[in-house]
Chain A
């Protein structure tokens, strides 16, 4: 089955760090850009950032709210994407989703993981 599975969510103290993982199955991430999107409890969707593929030199993009604190990377040998989160704040509390960007569909996010919960609290 074509799917994305996130892991690594946890309760972490303000100022702490956490690394989320997103494992892809039945497709190759090397063909795609991959995004992270988050959703705070009871709120809407917020785009977090992106890792582009080899064709675009694995460049990254970030939302202003996380730039300088979060880093997105990929390991194509493991067919996985990662979100390293540093200097965490209470407002980073959210469900974090990874999603596949489908270039042939106007860059829509056509495949989503089930999400992993990150809680930042003392």
Chain B
């Protein structure tokens, strides 16, 4: 199985801050890396697919990059509605795996 790690596990930030979350895969996954946002009690929501493609309707302050084993999610200017938990997920192998999540709070 491909193991996914994320760092940091949590971070405290302020509105307007630039936020960077990293995700690492245990083997090369090309650009088959997706990012999701989840708010408490809600289903996850797709933000970024194929490492750097913005899902329709997602604000342009979200961006993704990376290939192989190392990936980054960046929020250029954090907004109040962005406080949530972020998960990376690999879709390279038949059995998908998620990272452990990064909680972004105030």
From A47, A101, A108, A112, B43 is in contact (CB under 8 Å) with A112
Which A-chain residue is minimally distant from B99 (CB atoms)?
A: A44
Chain B: interface secondary structure?
Answer: loop
Instruction: Verify if B89 is at the interface (C-beta below 8 Å from A).
Output: yes
Q: How many A-B residue pairs have CB under 8 A?
A: 70
Sorting the interface of chain B by its residue count into under 10, 10 to 19, 20 to 34 or 35 or more gives 20 to 34
Query: Judging by beta carbons under 8 Å apart, are B45 and A108 in contact?
Result: no
> Which residues of chain A are within 8 angstroms of B87 by Cβ–Cβ distance?
44-45
Instruction: Verify if B91 is at the interface (C-beta below 8 Å from A).
Output: yes
CB A113 to nearest CB in B, in angstroms, measures: 7
CB-defined A-B contacts under 8 Å, sample of 14:
A44-B101, A45-B38, A47-B97, A105-B46, A105-B53, A105-B55, A106-B31, A106-B32, A106-B33, A106-B51, A109-B96, A112-B43, A112-B45, A115-B43
Which B-chain residue is minimally distant from A95 (CB atoms)?
A: B43
Query: Judging by beta carbons under 8 Å apart, are B95 and A108 in contact?
Result: no
Query: Judging by beta carbons under 8 Å apart, are A47 and B31 in contact?
Result: no
> Which residues of chain A are within 8 angstroms of B100 by Cβ–Cβ distance?
44
Q: List A residues 62-93 near B (Cβ within 8 Å).
A: 62-64
> Which residues of chain A are within 8 angstroms of B36 by Cβ–Cβ distance?
45, 109
What per-residue 1/0 map shows which CB atoms of A104-119 lie under 8 Å from chain B?
0111111011110000
> Which residues of chain B are within 8 angstroms of A50 by Cβ–Cβ distance?
94
Query: Judging by beta carbons under 8 Å apart, are B96 and A47 in contact?
Result: yes
Query: Judging by beta carbons under 8 Å apart, are B98 and A44 in contact?
Result: yes
A interface size (C-beta, 8 A): 24
Query: Judging by beta carbons under 8 Å apart, are A107 and B91 in contact?
Result: yes
> Which residues of chain A are within 8 angstroms of B96 by Cβ–Cβ distance?
35, 47, 107, 109
Give the complex CA separation of A107 and B29 in angstroms: 13
Query: Judging by beta carbons under 8 Å apart, are B34 and A47 in contact?
Result: no
Give the complex CA separation of A108 and B87 in angstroms: 12
Supposing A44-B87, A44-B100 touch, asked if A108 and B31 sit within 8 A by C-beta, the answer is no
Query: Judging by beta carbons under 8 Å apart, are A108 and B98 in contact?
Result: no
